[in-house]
Amino acid sequence: MSSYISKCLRFLAAALLVAAAGATYAQTGGGTIGGVQNIDQITKFVDGALPPIIGSSNTELAKQLLAPPLAPPLSKTFSLPLASRAVFGRSQPAFAPDCSRAGTAVNEPDQGDCNAFIGTPDGPGQFTQLSFSKNLGVGNIRFVSRPAFNPNFVPGDLKPVTISDGAALDQAVAFLSGNFGLSKTEFPLPPAGVPNAAPFVSGLAVAGGSVTGEQVAPVVIQKLVQIPRGLLLNLQDTSGQVVPFVPAPGVAKILIDASGIVGGIVENWQELRVDPTLDPANAKTRSQLINEIAQDLLADGGARIANVSAHIVYSSDWRGTFGYLVPAVQVYVAPATGQLNVDQLGLIESQKIGTAGIVREYALIGRPDFAVPGR
Amino acid sequence: MSTRMFGVLTAQILGALMGCAIATGAWALYIEEFAIGNWSSATCDTNPADDRGAWPGMADAWYNQMGAFGHFKAGRWVDGFMTKQHECDPLYNASCLDYLSWSGYGYDWADAAIAAYHGTHVGSNYWAGLQRYPFSADGDCWVRAGNSGNTYFGDQWLKFFIASSCFSADASTIPNIRVAMAKPNSVLRSHQWDGFHGIMWISGSYNGNYQNTAWAGHFVPISTAWVTNHHIQGKFSCQWYDPFNWFGTCKDQCPVAYSIGVNGGDALNRLLNERYNFVQPNPGSNAGYAWMYYPGCKPEGSPPM
């Protein structure tokens, strides 16, 4: 009974904290559930999250962001023979009939892919496919492969992947640059000595069990290397803190199992150009940005806040075969942070609280002639 | 000819005409989408701070790509009168309608479905998803899976379920997800459940991850398609100077894929092979289960995996 009362009291305390939430928010020793903030409180969160590089005048920052070092685009560097050799070896794939058509019926750039493959996509057989954007400005390249289905599989057949994170990253970089035409200069690889030496490598594991107590011990069967695109600008704030790379549209992923590279995804690695109509003189001030972001969050589902974080990024204004770079601030709103405890989870249930995080982008440079929605 | 057969044939014919027909031997699936972007204009959660306008678009991306492969788009249900009634099984309450045809949007009418709405987990027992209106029979605003006794998928049709929802496959609930995938005494069972450990993130810029899941799920296992496309590493809650997580200040988004079988090995084999165009026979039991995940993945809301 006493534990029941204790639980009730803790629950009540958590509820009171959230009910009283505002600039402060619930924290009961576990994680944090954000309260619903008013405009002043949201403004404080956003101000605290915006990089200090964004100041009262951002013309110089905008000038720097509008002169990025862009590597040659995939439309110039992607080589089908090279990619095909890397994926299929000496085997000759079949090409889908529409591969030669780069335009739509109404003569617009086709945003779809050309598929080259060996095997049948359906059924149990082995299959390998290379897909790439018909207009490479779109920036998609996908390589998928699977072995034939083994109906007699037993967990002992699982082959653990033993490659180190560093070696996996090296393999991925070599594959992407050597076979798919991605420029290494747009890989924001960490320098030696940073605390997180392998920020782009994860192990993928499988495990199993049963109600009879059977345990299939976890086995790491793949390494996933995912390299986000970054442009080297060496942004620096007044305190001397340097942010070398600015995130840009595009991510490249490589899958490695015990046999080697078995898949790759290059997603949205667009051909990027500088927008000649953007004027650094129209860079928004810090207070303008804070106000714009806070008002938007208040108006559209972003007012429950436990944490806000933000980065300077590039967004893209897509034009059919290329994208204009849009310097922007990417904002992440977490309605809950940390490890929520049982009382906090109970509170979410009883008070019907939404916890999914929000990601939004807001243009750093204004356009006097028309408003660009900050999404 | 049954309504279902008519739909399948129509889908295959349309697919063939569009030049994207699924190949001989594959079977068009009935697909459905259940998504909520707005809660505040309904009654369960009137707080506008919990609305997520971009969420249905993420589910749409999966639904539309599945349709492009020739599967039959049996229902896109967004906001509206979304209640537990369409998700729960009559074994829980006689008013539950998960078996209803697409005109009544029952979850178990689809072969493959995606749900997209806020979620939590109730201890280590089960995931719960927040609806727009309470269920008239019990007044509850949450669909409840796992061992809640509310949900039993697969006794009708539902084989592949994606729960785009926070905590929808939280590590703490892994042993119980299986319970909602098989109705007691039914010979038909669900095959796979895909979700998230911890909190997930909403953005129109993530639509492509859902589209890619549907695309890749026809060439490689659905499990791999799900986890590869939804694992977002080191991007959330970072310090401003750490956009690439070099300093380890960031959190992740942590997808999990899950299957059942007569034992762990059987479940694992299904997890490692089933695709939207390569559907394994009905699982012989839900006694075994297997899951795919990223060890060490560090989301908001839950401990690292």
SS (HEC) of B82-94: CCHHHCCCCCCCC
Q: How far is CA B123 from CA A33, A105, A336, B192, in A?
A: 16, 55, 17, 22
Which H helix or E strand runs over B78? strand B72-78
The answer as to whether B130 is a domain residue is yes
Given A188, A200, A241, which is nearest B233 (Cβ)? A200
Q: Name the DSSP letter for residue A86.
A: H
Which of A254, A147, A142, A267 lies closest to A204, judged by CA? A254
Q: How many domains does chain B have?
A: 1
User: How confident is the prediction for chain B on average, in pLDDT?
Assistant: 91
Q: Which residue of B has its CA nearest to A32?
A: B301
Q: Quote the tokens at residue A172.
A: 């991925």
Which structural domain range is residue B211 located in?
3-292
Averaged over B225-252, what is the pLDDT? 96
* Interface predicted TM-score (ipTM): 0.91
- Per-residue pLDDT at A14 exceeds 50: no
Backbone torsions φ then ψ of A280, nearest 5 degrees:
-55, -25
Averaged over B207-221, what is the pLDDT? 97
Confidence of residue B4 (pLDDT cuts 50, 70, 90): low
Given B203, B269, B292, which is nearest A204 (Cβ)? B292
Please list every residue in chain A whose beta carbon sits closer than 8 Å to the beta carbon of residue B202. 356-359
Averaged over A141-145, what is the pLDDT? 97
Q: How far is CA A315 from CA A268, A312, A318, in A?
A: 11, 10, 9
The answer as to whether B244 is a domain residue is yes
What per-residue confidence (pLDDT) applies to A3? Answer: 42
Residue range A269-280, pLDDT digits in tens:
999 999 999 999
The answer as to whether B269 is a domain residue is yes
Contact B240, B94 (CB under 8 A): no
B103, with CB counted inside 10 A (0-12, 13-18, 19+), is exposed
Least Cα separation, residue B113 to chain A (angstroms): 20
The answer as to whether B141 is a domain residue is yes
The answer as to whether B262 is a domain residue is yes
CA A258 to chain centre: 26
Q: Which amino acid is residue B52, in one-letter code?
A: R
The answer as to whether B285 is a domain residue is yes
Given A124, A214, A375, which is nearest B264 (Cβ)? A214
Count of other CB atoms within 10 angstroms of residue A55: 15
Q: Quote the tokens at residue B80.
A: 């509206």
What per-residue confidence (pLDDT) applies to A18? Answer: 42
Which of A109, A67, A103, A75 lies closest to A273, judged by CA? A67
What per-residue confidence (pLDDT) applies to B8? Answer: 45
B188, with CB counted inside 10 A (0-12, 13-18, 19+), is middle
Confidence of residue A302 (pLDDT cuts 50, 70, 90): confident
- Sequence-distant (6+) residues with CB within 8 A of A122 are B22, B23, B24, B25, B26, B277, B278
What per-residue confidence (pLDDT) applies to B11? Answer: 43
Place of tokens 């697919």: B15
Q: Name the DSSP letter for residue B171.
A: G
What per-residue confidence (pLDDT) applies to A24? Answer: 32
| Bridge partners (DSSP) listed for residue A265 | A142, A253
Q: Chain A to chain B, count of Cβ pairs less than 8 Å apart?
A: 274
**Would you call A207 and B220 a contact, using CB atoms and an 8 Å cutoff?**
no
Contact B222, A343 (CB under 8 A): no
Which of A229, A227, A223, A228 lies closest to A261, judged by CA? A223
* Poorest-pLDDT segment among A233-237, B117-121, B244-248: A233-237
The answer as to whether B298 is a domain residue is no
Which of B180, B171, B162, B185 lies closest to B292, judged by CA? B171
CATH number at residue B281: 3.40.50
Contact A109, A101 (CB under 8 A): no
Task: Tell me whether B284 touches chain A (CB under 8 Å).
Answer: no
Contact B245, A54 (CB under 8 A): no
Please tell me the pTM assigned to this model. 0.92
The answer as to whether B250 is a domain residue is yes
Confidence of residue A369 (pLDDT cuts 50, 70, 90): low
Please list every residue in chain B whose beta carbon sits closer than 8 Å to the beta carbon of residue A188. 244
- Strand order across the beta sheet in which A336-337 lies: A26-27, A32-33, A336-337
